[in-house]
Chains A and B, each alone.
Chain A
C-alpha cells in the first residue's frame, strides 16, 4: 500500500485547489454580488463551506473510511453507476479545463496578445499531465512548494499601507450590490470555495487521524488569504471603482513600482500558473479516480493521457473571455451543488446499508 497523505498536505491540497484563477476577480465579485463590506458575507459563506465539510466528515465516519466508490457500489448496481462515473469524470475534466482556459485568456490579454491560446493551454496541460502521473501523494508534496510561493506574496501587502484607507469600507453592510441580493449572487461568491469536495476522494489515500484537521485548516487558510486580499482591495479601491474593474488583483499588482522593477503583475500572474496547473491536475485526478473504477484493466498511463487529451479538447471550445467566464461560472455552480449532493446521497446510502446490516444482526465490517 502506498504512503498516506498527512493532514498537513491535505490542508495545502484543499487550499491550492480552491485558489485558482478566480482569485484575480474575487474582490470585484464580492463587491458586485455582496455589496459594501462584502468580506463579512464571505465569512458567512465560509461557515456554509465548513458545514459542507462536516457533512463529508459524517460520510467518512459512517463509511468507516471506505472510498465513496465502494460505498456506492455496495448498494447500486455497477451498470447504473458507470455512466454516472463517466459523466462526473467529464464534468471534472471540463471544470479544470475552463479554469485553465480562463487563466490562459487573461494571460494572453496581459502578456502575450498574439500567441495562440491553444498553444499556451497545451503547455499548461503538459505540466498538469506530468503532475497527474506522479499520483496524489507526490502531488501533495509538490503542492507544498507552490503553496508557499503564493503565501509569500502576501508580503507585498505592506506596499499599500499609504494608499489604504479604512473609510473606503463605508459603514454600510451589503449595500450597493450591482443586482441586489439573490441566491444566485451569493452562490456566485460561494463558488470561490469550490475545491474542498476533493476530500471525498482522498478517504483511501490519507492518514485517518489528521485528514479532517487538514481539510478544516486548508479551508481556514484559504479564507484567511481571501480575506486579506479582499480587505486590501476594499481599502485601496473606492467601492464603485472596485465594481468597475475586471481583475482588481491585476490592477493592484500593476501599482507596485520598485526601483529595479515595475509592472509586477506580469511576474506574479505567471507565478499563479502553478496554482492553476494544480487545479487542473487535481480535478483531473478526481476524474481519474472515477474512470479507474470504470476501466480497471486499462493501463493507468493511458487513462491519464486520455484525460489530459480531453481536457485540451474541451479547452478549445471557449475562445473568448466572455464565453470562458460564463462556462466556468456554470461549471462552478454545478460543482458547488455536487459538493453538497454527493455527501447527502452517500449518507442516505450508508443509512440504508447500516440499517440493513443492523437488521441482519450486524455483519462484520
Chain B
C-alpha cells in the first residue's frame, strides 16, 4: 500500500518537473547574453531625421563562446531601449536576454539631458540585477563599444575589468544601478559615475562624472579623483601624487603616497531658518594615512621631525586642494558628497521639504576642510641618498 502511494507521489513530482521543463526553456546555446549596452543620441549631422525625433542609439555587445574573446556587436536606432532590443532580436540568430548585463554606458551628450528614463527601464526589468555598472562616456558611447581593442579581451570584458581595477584603486567611486537610483531619489545627495574615454590604442578612465539630479553637469579630472574620493567615501586603498611647494626659488617637490587609507566625517552647522547658503556651514574632517615610496624633496624622512614637517605640508596641500575642488563642484549646483543629508538631519521635515537645496542654498554653502595626514611608513629603504645629504 505504502509503496504504491510513494510511487504515485514520485510519478506526480516527476510529471510536474518534466512538464515545468517544457515551458520557459533557456537553452544556453540559443541565448545571446548581453554583457554591455551603450546608449547615446544619434550622431549630430545637422539634418538627420533621427535627431529631430529624439531617437536613441543603442549598441549591444554580446560575447560569444567560440572563438575566444569574440563577440557580436549590434547597433540600432529606436525610441527606447526595449524597442531597440526587439529590433536587434529580429536581426540576431539568438534570443537576446539581459540577465547577464554588467555595464551600461551612456554618452555624455545624452547624459546631459538626463538619464533617469533610461536607468528606470533597467531598474524596472526584473531580469537585470542592481549591480550593473553605470558609466558615462566622454564622447560617443556607441562608437566606444563598437570598437575592438587589439591588445585586450573583448571590449565588454575590457570595460568591466577596467572599472573593477579603477574602483579597486579608488580612482572612481562605486556606481551602479542601485547607487544611481538611490542618490537620484534622495534630494540630499547627487549620483556620481565614472567617465571612460577612448584613446588611440586603449580605453582609459577619464575621471568622475558629476550629476545634478539625473543630469550630467561636470567632470572631475583623473588627477583629482583621489581627492574627490577622500571627500566622497571612506577609502581603504589608493595612490596619490602631491605637488608640494618647494623652498623659495626651488622647484616643486613631488611626493607619492601609496596604500592611502582615509576616513571622512562631515558635519553641518545650520542657522535656522535656512534662507541661503550663508546659513549653512559644512565641516569636513579627513584622516589620511599612507606609505611614502617616492619623494623628491629635501627633507630627511628618517627623522621623525622631518616627517612631521612633511605631514604638515601634505595637510596644507590636501586642505587647499579639496577646498578648491569642493568650491568648483558647488558652483555646478551638484551635491555628490551628500551635504544635503547632513543639513536635512538638522532641520524640520517641513523646512527641508520646501528648501530649494540645489538652486538656492548649495552654491553659497561655506565649507571648511580639516585634514590630518600621517606618514604610515617610508618603505623598506633606511638610508636616503647619502650623496645628497652632504
Contact = CB atoms under 8 A, between A and B. Distances in A.
A170 B352 CA distance: 11
B12 A126 contact: yes
25 contacts: A36-B349, A110-B126, A115-B23, A115-B24, A116-B23, A119-B19, A126-B12, A126-B16, A163-B178, A163-B179, A167-B341, A167-B342, A168-B186, A170-B349, A171-B344, A172-B348, A175-B349, A176-B353, A237-B182, A238-B182, A240-B186, A240-B187, A241-B182, A241-B184, A244-B185
A112 B129 contact: no
Interface size class of B (residues with CB under 8 A): 20 to 34
Given A176-B349, A254-B130, A262-B129, A240 B24 contact: no
B24 A114 contact: yes
Given A176-B353, A238-B186, A257-B129, 19 more contacts: A109-B126, A115-B20, A123-B20, A163-B178, A163-B179, A167-B338, A168-B186, A170-B349, A171-B344, A171-B346, A175-B349, A239-B186, A241-B185, A254-B130, A255-B129, A255-B178, A257-B131, A262-B131, A263-B99
A113 interface: yes
A241 B123 CA distance: 11
Nearest to B20: A115
A255 B23 contact: no
B183 interface: yes
Contacts of A36: 349
B44 to A, nearest CB: 33
Contacts of A257: 129, 131
B345 interface: yes
Interface string B125-165: 01101110000000000000000000000000000000000
Interface string B343-386: 01110110001000000000000000000000000000000000
A254 B129 contact: yes
B62 interface: no
Given A126-B12, A167-B342, A170-B344, A251 B182 contact: no
Contacts of B41: none
Nearest to A262: B129
B193 interface: no
Most buried by A among B9, B20, B182, B187: B182
Contacts of A262: 129, 131
Contacts of B126: 109-110, 250
B286 interface: no
Contacts of A114: 23-24
Nearest to A241: B185
Contacts of B12: 126
B181 interface: yes
Interface string B1-37: 0000000010010001001100110000000000000
A47 to B, nearest CB: 25
Interface residues of A, number: 35
Contacts of B9: 130
Interface string A171-190: 11001100000000000000
Contacts of A170: 344-345, 349
Nearest to A167: B341
Contacts of B181: 241
Contacts of A109: 126
A74 B269 CA distance: 70
A220 B20 CA distance: 39
Contacts of A168: 186, 341
A121 to B, nearest CB: 12
Most buried by B among A113, A116, A126, A170: A170
Nearest to A172: B349
B129 A171 contact: no
B345 A263 contact: no
Given A167-B345, A176-B349, A241-B181, A251 B130 contact: yes
B178 A251 contact: yes
Contacts of B182: 236-238, 241
Contact of A263 (B19, B129, B186, B353): B129
Contacts of B341: 167-168
A109 B24 CA distance: 12
Nearest to A240: B185
| Top-4 shortest CB links A-B | A238-B186, A241-B185, A240-B185, A175-B349
Contacts of B179: 163
B103 to A, nearest CB: 13
B113 to A, nearest CB: 21
B16 A123 contact: yes
B129 to A, nearest CB: 5
Contacts of A116: 23
Contacts of B344: 170-171
Interface string A106-148: 0001111111100100010010001000000000000000000
Contacts of A126: 12, 16
B45 to A, nearest CB: 38
B64 to A, nearest CB: 21
A250 B353 CA distance: 29
Most buried by A among B12, B341, B342, B349: B349
A354 B12 CA distance: 52
B344 to A, nearest CB: 6
Contacts of A171: 344-346
Interface string B191-215: 0000000000000000000000000
Nearest to B22: A115
Interface in A157-173: 163, 167-168, 170-172
A113 B342 CA distance: 43
B71 to A, nearest CB: 20
Contacts of B24: 111-115
A219 B230 CA distance: 45
A236 B183 CA distance: 11
